[in-house]
Every structure is written in structure tokens, then in C-alpha cells.
Amino acid sequence: MKIAITSKIPESILGKIKELGEVEIHDSSTPLSKEEIMNMSADAEVLVVPLSDKIDQEVLDRAKNVKLVANYGAGYDNIDIAYAKEKGIVITNAPAPSSAVSTAELTFAIMLASAKKLIQSEKDLREGNFLGWRPTYFLGQELRGKTLGIIGMGKIGRNLAKRALAFEMDVIYTSRNRKEDVEEMGVRYVEKEELLKEADFISLHSAFAEELHHMIGKEEFMMMKDTATFMNAARGPLMDEAALVEALKTGEIAAAALDVYEFEPKVTKELLELDNVVLIPHLGNATIEARMEMGEAVYNNLKDYTEGKKPRNQVN
């Protein structure tokens, strides 16, 4: 069995996968082009890909021998699931329990970075502009007493709420379903419109679905306080990036902190030019703990397949 892996993965995981078959790996974090992915998968039976590799109809048609595509990550919106099902190709993902904690920590970190103006002030220092302590030099704000609004109360939202409560923030949330266990922690449920109007920090944590494309756009930004900070560590297409730029430029909102982008890995040029935005390169679950758990899940999916079992993380 030939296994094609289109990105560098942890050595210990690679070693285990090599026990299952012949492995061809692109041992680099530099993404392959679509043509290179198609060439690499042409004679493979199993294809292991990161979330950033788009596996569409054209790739699946070229991969004539592929029976399993194993995503190295919990998400799988990079793969044409429906078309894969038509072709009888199994798709698996790689959920990691640590991922929710890692992403919640990253979200809290960019909220702190934005509130305390850490990125801007460090840049100022590196440029030689720090002349000593001054009463009004890079004034930020405390999180204590501020309201955090969480859109989408899944595992990441829960972990973020716990951390915000520890910082004495008020936490509100909106979600498709009420979460009694979360409300017992002291988190208050509100409708989306109320959250947008009330929150000082708004954090997006909905899973991506086509009907949620641009769920945060011009109308939503106009509802927010002009002192609000918008954060997205979920999926880029959930927000209208052009509308976000406009809201930041016109002062409809005060700041943004982003880990994901609508046209990732491309980042809207105007965002790069704004100094009221914290920009992080999709590092939400970029921790040793989470990525090793994902690797183990990929290995287990492949092992199940080689043993003739249904892969434990099959999604189609």
C-alpha cells in the first residue's frame, strides 16, 4: 500500500505510519501546488493532507487509486466530501482533545495582546522609539469587568469562557442550542443581536458551514460598540474580511484580533497596513500536545483501514 503525505509531520508519527506501507512524503512545511498534489496522489492508495490542502473534484479524479484521504486536523472543509462519497473514497479527520484548550488559549492570548497593545508597543520598542515610562504611552485596557461575547459555544467556547471568568470578565454567549452546564458557570445566554451590541470583545467560534458564510459582515459590525474588539480563531470565511477592514477604518469598531483569514493563506492587504489589528498565522491549535494527538488519530485511521475496519474518525 502506497501512502502519500503532502506535508511535513512529526517524526514519531511518520515512523509509525511507515510501518503500514510504502510512504512518499513532501517533508517540508512549504505547501505543494495543486498540480504537485495531483502528481503525488496519482498512484497512491492513501492520501494524508493538512487542512490547508484543497482536495477538490479535480484532485480526486486524478487520484485514481486513492481509497482513503486522511486529514491531519479536526476540520475537513478543505475536501469535497460529497464528491468523495460518490467515488467511494473514505474521508477521515483527526480530532484532538487538546485542540480545544490550545485554541482557547490562543484566543485569550490575542485578546490580551489587543487589549494591552502588545504587538504595536513591541514594534515601537524595536524601532528605537521607547524613551522611558510616560503616563500616556501605549495605554491599553483591563479585561476585568469587560464583557466577552462568544458566538458558538462548543468545546473551544467553553474553555475560553473558563479563562475569561478567571480574569473577572462578564461572559455572554449565543449558540444554536442552550448549554446548561455553561450557564451554571455564570455565563449568560443572549440572542446574537444583543451579544453584538453588548460585548466589549466578540469571539467567533462557530464551525464552518456554507450557510454561515459571512455570518459576520457589514450589518453585524455596525451593531457592535465603537470600542469593541472582534476576534476570529474559527474559520476565515465566517467573516466578510472587506467589511471588517471598512469597520476598522471608519471606527465602527476599535480593533480586531485574527488567527484565520477569508482567503487563507492570503491576507487582505489593508489588514496588514492597519495598526489596530493583531494578526496571527493560523496557530490556534499549534501546540505539541494537540498536533501529536492529531497525528495519533491519523495513524489510527490508517491502521483501521489496513486492517479492513471502518476508520474510527470517518466523516463521510
State the pLDDT at residue 210.
86
Do both 40 and 85 map to the same domain? yes
Domain-embedded: residue 272: yes
Range of the domain at 182: 98-279
Do both 244 and 114 map to the same domain? yes
Do both 110 and 212 map to the same domain? yes
Do both 166 and 153 map to the same domain? yes
CATH of the domain at 205: 3.40.50.720
Q: Assess whether 214 carries a catalytic annotation.
A: no
Do both 154 and 107 map to the same domain? yes
Could you read off the pLDDT of 2-29 as tens digits, one per residue?
999 999 999 999 999 999 999 999 999 9
Do both 107 and 195 map to the same domain? yes
State the pLDDT at residue 273.
96
State the pLDDT at residue 208.
82
- pTM attached to this predicted model: 0.90
Domain-embedded: residue 187: yes
Considering the candidates 58, 270, 282, 296, report the single residue annotated as catalytic: 282
Do both 210 and 115 map to the same domain? yes
Q: Assess whether 235 carries a catalytic annotation.
A: yes
Tens digit of pLDDT per residue, the chain (316 long)? 999 999 999 999 999 999 999 999 999 999 999 999 999 999 999 999 999 999 999 999 999 999 999 999 988 989 999 999 999 999 999 999 999 999 999 999 999 999 999 999 999 999 999 999 999 999 999 999 999 999 999 999 999 999 999 999 999 999 999 999 999 999 999 999 999 999 999 999 998 888 899 999 999 999 999 999 999 999 999 999 999 999 999 999 999 999 999 999 999 999 999 999 999 999 999 999 999 999 999 999 999 999 999 999 999 9
Provide DSSP, the chain: -EEEE-S---HHHHHHHHTTSEEEE--SSSPPPHHHHHHHHTT-SEEEEETTS-B-HHHHHH-TT--EEEEESS--TTB-HHHHHHTT-EEE----HHHHHHHHHHHHHHHHHHHTTHHHHHHHHHTT---S--TTTT-----TT-EEEEES-SHHHHHHHHHHHHTT-EEEEE-SS--HHHHTTT-EE--HHHHHHH-SEEEE-PPP-GGGTTSBSHHHHHHS-TT-EEEE-S-GGGB-HHHHHHHHHHTSSSEEEES--TTTT---HHHHH-SSEEE--S-TT-SHHHHHHHHHHHHHHHHHHHTTSPPTTB--
Domain count, the chain: 2
Considering the candidates 264, 270, 289, 296, report the single residue annotated as catalytic: 264
Domain-embedded: residue 313: no
Could you read off the pLDDT of 238-257 as tens digits, one per residue?
999 999 999 999 999 999 99
Domain-embedded: residue 63: yes
Considering the candidates 235, 241, 262, 293, report the single residue annotated as catalytic: 235
Q: Assess whether 24 carries a catalytic annotation.
A: no
Do both 103 and 77 map to the same domain? no
Could you read off the pLDDT of 28-39 as tens digits, one per residue?
999 999 999 999
Do both 230 and 150 map to the same domain? yes
